[in-house]
């Protein structure tokens, strides 16, 4: 996906389409003194247009509008931080959340360089305690439809398609913008954290939009995911393995101890035949 912010008119149609398609609830949460609808994304608000008010080099007012949502990083901090693999990469390379596996730990929040994933700890819903973020309308694109925001954008400033083609288009557009006098126009997302699956054509440098410049997946996070977690899991696994070994050995030992009886009564610990037969019977009716 690509957002050409130079053509975004801040109409918020994408916000509405996102909510409606994903059946997320409305959260009336506007701060006073701004056109921006929500101060930040939340677990039910996956797309927000940011309104940035400033002056350009000549002192003329500048009002930048930037569609903000999950950037679907190639090396995603949230995926790295997620202890249950609820956040993972899907076949399209998109960062996907499996709500069933999400335990609401919130490790993903600080791990995201774009502040795009949130766990619902707001006063709106105390029960949910699950993360929520843009899915790039996985349910639509897997059925050959465009994401809801792309479909609804009245100026067609949100584009969806092959990433390499979008990158080529973005560079052409930036060249055009330079010619038109937008000297600071640039492409964002081509290389950041392994390359983003949401790209921007920006009119000003990324800092102006509050976007991280050259964000990196922190080494500690990587260590956590690829060092500590496997070790932890290995330890957990080893523990389990030990327990099983222990169990088997113990049983063997127990069996060994009871061995003489086996020969007597034909082995009591095995389930009675009737139970097994019943189970078979039940499965036939499934």
Partner 1 sequence: MTTSFWDIPNADVIVFMGSNAAENHPIGFKWFMRAKQKGAKLIVVDPRFTRTASKADWWIPFRSGTDISVLGGLINYAISHNKIHRDYVIHNTNAPLLVNPNFKFDEGLFSGWDPNTKTYNQSTWSFQSGPDGQPLKDDTLQDPNSVYQQIKKIYSLYTPEMVSEISGITVADFNKFAEMVCNTGEAGKVALFAYAMGWTQSTHGVQNIRCATLLQMLLGNIGVPGGGIAALRGHANVQGATDLAVVYGDLPGYIGQPTQAHKTLKEFNDKTTPTSGYWVNKPKYVASLLKAWWGDHATKENDFAYSYLPKMGNVPYSHYDIFQSALDGTIHGLMLFGQNPAVGSANASKVQAAMAKLDWMLFADMFMNESGEFWKLDGVNPAEIKTEVFMLPACGPLEKAGSFTNSTRLIQWKHQAIAPLGESRSDGWIVNELGKRLQKLYANSTAKKDEGIKYLTWSYDVPGKPDEYDHEKVLKEMNGYDVKTGKQLANFGLLKDDGSTAAGIWIYTGVFTEEGNKADSRRRDAPNRREGWAEAKADGSAKYLHLDYAFAWPANRRVLYNRASSDPAGKSWGKVPLVWWDAAAGKWTGVDVPDMLPVAPDKVHEATGVPGSSAFIMKPWGMGGIWGPLADGPVPVHYEPIESPVKNALYKQMTNPAARRFNSEFDKLGTPDQFPYVVTTYRLTEHQTSGAMTRTIPFLAEAFARPFVEISRELAQEKGIKNGEWVQVESARGKVKVQAMVTNRLRPYKIAGKLVHQIGLPIHWAPKSGLVQGDIVNSLSPEVLDPTAHIQESKAFLGNISKTTPRGVN
Where along the sequence are the contacts to partner 1 (CB under 8 A)?
Answer: 6-7, 9-13, 15-16, 19-20, 25-35, 37-38, 53, 55, 60-65, 154-156, 176, 180-181
Among residues 12 and 222, whose Cβ is nearest to partner 1?
A: 12
Could you give the strand order of the β-sheet that contains 2-4, starting from the edge strand earlier in sequence? 158-159, 2-4, 199-202, 186-188
The least distance separating partner 1 from the CB of residue 9, rounded to whole angstroms, comes to 4
Q: What are phi and psi of 34, to 5 degrees?
A: -150, 160
Closest CB 60 distance from partner 1, rounded Å: 7
DSSP three-state, residue 189: coil
Shortest distance in whole angstroms from residue 247 CB to partner 1:
55
- Complex with partner 1: residue 142 or 155, whichever CB lies closer: 155
Nearer to partner 1, 155 or 246 (CB): 155
The radius of gyration of the chain from alpha carbons, rounded to an integer in Å, stands at 27
Tell the smallest beta-carbon distance from residue 188 to partner 1 (Å): 19
Give the count of beta carbons closer than 10 Å to the beta carbon of residue 175: 11
Query: Rounded to an integer, what distance in angstroms lies between the CA atom of residue 51 and that of residue 35?
Result: 7
Cα(21)–Cα(179) distance, integer angstroms: 38
Neighbours of 240 (CB within 10 A): 11
Region for residue 78 given its phi and psi (left: phi exceeds 0; alpha: psi -120 to 50; beta: otherwise): alpha
CA–CA distance, 260 with 254 (Å, rounded to integer)? 11
Ordered alpha helix ranges (H), 75-206:
77-81, 108-111, 138-141, 148-152, 163-179
Question: In terms of CB distance, is 192 or 204 closer to partner 1?
Answer: 204
Shortest Cβ distance from residue 53 to partner 1 (Å)? 6
CB of 57 to partner 1, least distance (A): 14
């Amino acid at each position: 996906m690509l957002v050409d912010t130079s053509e975004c008119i801040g109409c918020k149609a994408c916000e509405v389409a996102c909510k409606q398609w994903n059946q997320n609830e409305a959260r009336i949460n506007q701060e006073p003194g701004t056109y921006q609808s929500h101060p930040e994304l939340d677990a039910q608000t996956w797309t927000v247009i940011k309104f940035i008010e400033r002056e350009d080099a000549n002192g003329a007012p500048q009002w930048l509008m930037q569609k903000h949502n999950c950037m679907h990083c190639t090396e995603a901090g949230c995926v790295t931080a997620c202890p249950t693999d609820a956040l993972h990469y899907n076949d399209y390379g998109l960062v996907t959340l499996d709500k069933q596996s999400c335990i609401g730990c919130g490790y993903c929040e600080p791990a995201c360089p774009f502040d795009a994933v949130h766990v619902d700890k707001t006063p709106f819903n105390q029960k949910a305690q699950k993360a929520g973020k843009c899915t790039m309308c996985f349910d639509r694109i897997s059925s050959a439809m465009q994401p809801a925001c792309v479909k609804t954008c009245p100026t067609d400033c949100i584009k969806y398609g092959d990433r390499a083609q979008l990158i080529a288009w973005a560079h052409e557009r930036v060249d055009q913008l330079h010619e038109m006098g937008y000297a600071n126009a640039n492409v964002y997302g081509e290389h950041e954290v392994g390359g983003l699956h949401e790209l921007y054509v920006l009119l000003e440098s990324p800092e102006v939009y509050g976007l991280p410049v050259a964000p990196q997946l922190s080494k500690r996070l990587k260590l956590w995911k690829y060092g500590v977690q496997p070790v932890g899991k290995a330890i957990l696994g080893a523990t389990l393995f030990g327990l099983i070994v222990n169990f088997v050995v113990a049983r063997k030992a127990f069996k060994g101890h009871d061995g003489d009886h086996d020969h007597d009564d034909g082995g009591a610990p095995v389930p009675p035949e009737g139970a097994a037969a019943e189970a078979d019977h039940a499965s036939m009716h499934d």
